[in-house]
Amino acid sequence: MYVCICNAIKEEDVRLSAQNGAHKAREVFNAHGCKPECAKCTNCIRTIIKDHHCANQTCTTNLAAE
């Protein structure tokens, strides 16, 4: 499923970025060589990152804060 339509970033791309150490939405954008356009996707990206890290017991309280 596409998470960011503006930059064609899929949910699996966000999960892979999280696996590779991304803890913030901007780190996902940087990994894909882009920046948020409309920024409507950032909350979804943050949630996917948080879910990944919490499921892997690397969750922190301010994990998704920008």
13-63: pLDDT as tens digits: 999 999 999 999 999 999 999 999 999 999 999 999 999 999 877 666 455
Q: Which alpha helices (DSSP H) does the chain contain, by range?
A: 11-19, 25-31, 42-55
Q: Which helix (H) or strand (E) holds 16?
A: helix 11-19
Evaluate whether residue 60 is within a structural domain: no
Tally of domains within the chain: 1
pTM beyond cutoff 0.75: yes
Evaluate whether residue 62 is within a structural domain: no
Evaluate whether residue 29 is within a structural domain: yes
- What confidence score (pLDDT) does residue 57 get? 72
Evaluate whether residue 19 is within a structural domain: yes
Evaluate whether residue 42 is within a structural domain: yes
Evaluate whether residue 66 is within a structural domain: no
Q: 43 lies in which domain range? A: 2-55
